[in-house]
Copies of this chain bind each other. A is one copy, B any other.
Amino acid sequence: MKDMDIAEVSRRTGVPASTLRYYEEKGLIASIGRRGLRRLFDPAVLDRLALIALGRAGGFALDEISAMLGPDGMPKMDRGRLHAKANELDHTIQRLTTIREALRHAARCPAAQPMECPTFRRAVRLAGAGRFEVAPIGPFKAEAVSVTRRKRQTGDVSLE
């Protein structure tokens, strides 16, 4: 399997060609040349896209991911930064866990209105108070987009 054109990369990863061009423009991926006008990609781009997907799924911004991956392979992916990101995620996870428990409790709780329940109020207070002191979670696009993509999602995102 040698150089792939944009359509093949798109097909194999589920990432739209427009997004691939956008990523290239942002320096997240690079094509290894052109055949005429058409971009040619090295299969390694599949790995890189998988990493980008990992980052996106983790809620990181493209700029952050870019910083973590570095321009070429992935040299800036140093331990310290990775730990920092992991901790960031940890806080997010804790926050979301609190909220999930609040929701579950509200669903279970016999109080007529959730806000009448002290446990729920406590959870709300916790979530509310910590609201702006945690790492932001990156934006995911709308359902429609997901569906659109799911149609093309053929399974493998490279790897193995």
Contact = CB atoms under 8 A, between A and B. Distances in A.
A139 interface: yes
Oligomer: number of copies = 2
Contact of A137 (B83, B115, B138, B159): B138
Given A115-B74, A121-B159, A136-B143, A96 B99 contact: no
A96 B157 contact: no
A82 interface: yes
Interface string A31-63: 000000000000000010011011011110000
Interface stretch (A3-11, A20-28, A148-156): A148-156
Interface of A: 14, 47, 50-51, 53-54, 56-59, 73-74, 77, 79, 82-83, 85-86, 89-90, 92-93, 95-97, 99-100, 102-104, 106-108, 113-115, 121, 123-125, 127-134, 136-143, 146, 149-150, 153, 155-160
